[in-house]
Homo-oligomer: A and B are copies of this chain.
């Protein structure tokens, strides 16, 4: 039975993990962000929540650019590593075995294995609670169109999507998951 709960209780998952890439001069990084959202269109806008003490924040703040990358289910170990290891030692992309190319518009790393990715320029940044909410305008989209159907949705017969549940645990969404369609 549902009841009122004292204090805080974070409920953000199951959900996709955004791998946030960053670049400032010769330094680059990748981290996993569980708190993120597509938040506007015309132009497309993407928001990510970052703590100030992350290495990524230290790169995004002065550079004003970040990447948002979505990896398929085969890559959950790299996703977990991106969420667990710090970036201060450098070379985190290489340590995680994540190939990348510089983005066309900003040079921020775009992961080679991302089936969908965005290059963003920061347009706003505000602190809410213990995180900064960083809003970027999407200036370049990347997509593996072969993994999406004619309706624009992911084709789960070709693309298995990892959903983070919390506590290092992932569930894989694939075509075996029950499908419900409600055209009202």
Count A interface residues, CB 8 Å. 89
Kindly identify, within residues 135 to 173 of chain A, every residue whose CB is under 8 Å from any CB belonging to chain B. Answer: 135, 137-138, 140-146, 151-154, 156, 161-163, 165-173
Whether, in the assembled complex, A44 has its beta carbon less than 8 Å from a beta carbon of chain B, the answer is yes
Partner of A39, one of B7, B129, B165: B129
* Interchain CA distance A178-B74 in the complex, whole Å: 12
Interface residues of A (CB under 8 A from B): 1-5, 7-16, 35-45, 47, 49, 70, 73, 76-77, 80-81, 84-85, 104, 112, 114-118, 123-124, 126-131, 133, 135, 137-138, 140-146, 151-154, 156, 161-163, 165-174, 176-184
Told that A4-B141, A12-B38 touch, could you supply 9 new A-B pairs with CB distance under 8 A? A2-B144, A7-B141, A10-B44, A35-B40, A73-B178, A123-B128, A124-B126, A126-B126, A163-B173
